[in-house]
């Protein structure tokens, strides 16, 4: 904030000093220049005929999509079951692996701040920075297409997510309770069980359910890279240009996601 | 005296579910589900054992990533991903601002609120990859479809969070500016923007980070970027090139994450 004093002595209030304002304009200018520059590089290879043609294409595709081929749902039950399994089992495996990892990564519970904590943090970061679809791509190349690759892909991606949120929750616990349990002569395991665990239990449950909800979304598309579930059916329908089937699958994905969101909201309300 | 004291009392921690029958029913149901779910996983063990050889090659690829032999492709993919990220974030931001303002109940009339919330719900309905499939079908292969996909997801993400933020602002400041005779734009600038700006900049930085991650994925369905390069490398079983690409992605993602974390901390 700045107050300018005019030549005639009146004071004028303004939000920014002229210097700040110049910097801000320079920043905006740089941003616009960068955007234009990126735009030119990005669209260098774009075929504009396809772009101007898009509304007609869209009309064509949506025309073909409607109405969905409802009867096709009888072939999708297996895929729906697989999708739910990929998400649920993947989340469970991730929880089992991420919980000890979080205890190793949290500053107040790690056995060694110097050696073990950085390793645990690195595992968390590496798992988080690769998308579930890329994990799926790698695992399908290794394990072959199927549900197993999907489950492991979901698990590998979720370890970092659950691990990060959980270790942050562990670092925020109330130390006095831990102290109190320790003062009764409890062993390390009892301190964990009675001092730390009850404090992070609500966070643990919310994080797990939250990640399960995300995983349901991701598992619906994992099949695009061959990792089983609804995505596999979508891939098949797209490759054969069976648009009425595509629209039915998209509808099912939407319904699945809405139901999982509803379950998540219910569970969170019970926990909190 | 000793006769009055009963057997030693043992404290047990309260159970999560109080009723015994309900507890056992839940445990049984979970076990039944797990049995069915694991039973339905169909694993081809010969294929897996073949795959382990490939896993070893992939792993050794990570130890000796090959940056050079496909460097041209990698560079092209990276440039596409980065330009896509910048353009989509800026474009999405420009559209998300008015939509976000319109979707805040405390400054928008009801009809506009409903319209903007509907747009937000639509933009958030499907994952990026499905949107990308549709856009690739409409606009053809390449970065333009990817750019549109990321723009849609940016609109959904930013306008929802902007709207939620604006709904939570302190109405006293709006009142104060309005009391001095400030018009609509002055109220926006001095009362609304000044309250939501720090969080808003932080969210945008976060979205840049997310957009780059997504841009590395949507290439799998033909929307350009580094994901396409990665997909090609894996299809050709060139695991050392794929490892190089993955390492670059991890590096840039970590860089983006630290930068956006730093910006959020600086703005807060």
* pLDDT digit string, tens, across residues A108-152: 888 888 888 888 888 888 888 788 888 888 888 888 788 888 899
| Host H or E run for residue B170 | none
A and B: number of Cβ contacts within 8 A: 137
Q: What is the CATH number of domain A72-271?
A: 1.10.3720.10
- Residue B90: its chain A contacts at CB < 8 A? 31, 35
Q: Is residue B9 part of a domain?
A: no
pLDDT < 70: residue spans in chain A:
1-2, 272
So what's the ipTM on this one? 0.77
B176 and B217 in a common domain: yes
CB contact under 8 A, B41 and A142: no
Mean of pLDDT over chain B: 83
What are the residue ranges spanned by the domains of chain A?
72-271
Residue B147 and residue B84 in contact, taking contact as beta carbons nearer than 8 Å: yes
B4 pLDDT band (50/70/90 cuts)? low
| Claim to verify: residue B180 and residue B141 sit in the same structural domain | yes
Q: Which of A34, A126, A131 sits opposite B217 (nearest CB)?
A: A131
Residue A72's nearest CA partner among A257, A228, A230 is A230
Distance, in Å, from the CA atom of B208 to the CA atom of A237, rounded to the nearest integer, reads 33
Query: Worst-scoring range by mean pLDDT, B48-52, B135-139, B164-168, B251-255?
Result: B48-52
The CA distance from B38 to B24, in Å, is: 21
| Interface contact B221-A133, CB threshold 8 A | no
CATH code where residue B233 lies: 1.10.3720.10
Report pLDDT digits (tens) over B55-101: 887 788 777 887 777 788 888 888 888 888 889 999 999 999 889 88
Residues B142 and B27 in one domain: no
- SS3 per residue for B185-249: HHHHHHHHHHHHHHHHHHHHHHHHHHHHHHHCCHHHHCCCCHHHHHHHHHHCCCHHHHHHHHHHH
What is the average per-residue pLDDT within B43-49?
A: 77
Q: Are residues B128 and B31 in the same domain?
A: no
Q: What is the mean pLDDT of chain A?
A: 84
Residue B233 is assigned to a structural domain of this protein: yes
CB-based contact B140 A50, cutoff 8 Å: yes
Domain match, B208 and B248 both? yes
User: Do B19 and B95 reside in the same domain of the chain?
Assistant: no
* Chain-chain contact of B250 with A131 (C-beta, under 8 angstroms): no
Domain count, chain B: 2
Query: By the 8 A CB rule, do A230 and A251 touch?
Result: no
Q: What domain range includes position B185? A: 61-267
Report CB contact under 8 Å: B84, A42: yes
Residue B53 lies in a domain: no
Say what the pLDDT of residue A210 is. 87
Percent residues over pLDDT 70 in chain B: 97
Same domain membership, residue B115 and residue B35: no
Mutate to test the interface with B, among A221, A223, A240, A248 (most CBs of B within 10 A): A221
The answer to whether B225 and B146 have CB atoms below 8 angstroms apart is: yes
Q: Indicate whether B166 and B86 sit together in one domain.
A: yes
CA B132 to chain CA centroid, Å, is 15
Under 8 Å between Cβ of A159 and A97: yes
Query: Nearest-CA distance from A43 to chain B in Å?
Result: 7
Q: Is residue B210 part of a domain?
A: yes
- Provide the pLDDT confidence category of residue B5 given band limits of 50, 70 and 90: low
CA distance A8 to chain B (A): 24
**With a CB-CB cutoff of 8 Å, which residues 153-212 of chain B face chain A?**
190
Q: How confident is the model at residue B1 (pLDDT cuts 50, 70, 90)?
A: very low
Whether residue B190 is predicted with pLDDT greater than 90 in this model: the reply is no
Is B50 within a domain? no
Given a cut of 70, whether residue B220 has pLDDT beyond it is: yes
């Amino acid at each position: 904030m700045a107050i300018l004093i005019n030549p005639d002595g009146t004071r004028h209030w303004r939000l920014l000093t002229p210097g700040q304002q110049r910097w801000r304009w320079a920043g905006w200018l740089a941003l616009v220049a960068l955007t234009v520059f990126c735009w030119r590089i990005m669209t260098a290879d774009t075929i504009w005929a396809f772009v101007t043609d898009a509304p007609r294409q869209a009309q064509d595709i949506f025309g073909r999509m409607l109405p969905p081929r409802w009867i096709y749902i009888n072939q999708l039950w297996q895929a729906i079951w697989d999708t739910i399994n990929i998400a649920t089992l993947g989340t469970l495996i991730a929880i089992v692996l991420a919980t000890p990892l979080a205890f190793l990564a949290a500053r107040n519970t790690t056995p060694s701040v110097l050696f073990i904590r950085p390793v645990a943090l690195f595992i968390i970061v590496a798992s988080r920075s690769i998308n579930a679809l890329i994990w799926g791509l790698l695992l399908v190349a290794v394990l072959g297409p199927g549900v197993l690759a999907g489950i492991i892909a979901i698990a590998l991606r979720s370890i970092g997510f659950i691990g990060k949120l959980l270790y942050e929750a562990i670092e925020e616990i109330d130390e006095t309770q831990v102290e109190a349990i320790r003062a009764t002569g409890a062993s390390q395991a009892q301190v964990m069980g009675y001092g730390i665990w009850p404090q992070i239990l609500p966070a643990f449950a919310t994080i797990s359910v939250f990640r399960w909800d995300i995983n349901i979304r991701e598992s619906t598309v994992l099949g695009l890279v061959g990792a089983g579930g609804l995505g596999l059916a979508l891939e098949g329908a797209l490759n054969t240009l069976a648009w009425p089937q595509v629209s039915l699958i998209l509808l099912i994905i939407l319904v699945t996601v809405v139901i999982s969101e509803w379950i998540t909201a219910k569970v969170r309300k019970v926990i909190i | 005296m000793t006769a009055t004291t009963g057997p030693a009392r043992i404290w047990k921690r309260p159970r999560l579910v109080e009723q015994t029958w309900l507890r056992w029913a839940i445990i049984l149901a979970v076990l039944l589900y797990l049995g069915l779910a694991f039973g339905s996983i169909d694993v081809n063990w010969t294929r897996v054992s073949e795959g382990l050889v490939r896993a070893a090659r992939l792993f050794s690829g990570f130890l000796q990533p090959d940056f050079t032999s496909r460097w041209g492709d990698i560079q092209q993919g990276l440039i596409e991903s980065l330009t896509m990220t910048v353009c989509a974030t800026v474009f999405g931001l420009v559209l998300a601002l008015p939509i976000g303002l319109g979707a805040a109940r405390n400054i928008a009339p009801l009809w506009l609120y409903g319209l903007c919330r509907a747009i937000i719900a639509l933009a958030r309905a499907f994952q990026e990859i499905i949107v990308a499939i549709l856009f690739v079908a409409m606009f053809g292969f390449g970065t333009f479809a990817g750019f549109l996909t990321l723009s849609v997801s940016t609109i959904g993400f930013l306008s929802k969070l902007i709207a939620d933020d604006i709904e939570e602002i302190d109405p006293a400041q709006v009142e104060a500016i309005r009391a001095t005779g400030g018009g609509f734009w002055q109220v926006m600038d001095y009362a609304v923007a000044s309250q939501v700006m720090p969080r808003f900049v932080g969210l945008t930085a976060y979205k840049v980070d997310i957009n780059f991650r997504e841009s590395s994925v949507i290439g799998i369905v033909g929307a350009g970027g580094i994901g396409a390069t990665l997909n090609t490398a894996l299809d050709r079983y060139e695991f050392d090139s794929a490892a190089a690409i993955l390492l670059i992605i991890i590096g840039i993602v970590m860089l983006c994450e630290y930068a956006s974390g730093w910006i959020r901390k600086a703005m807060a």
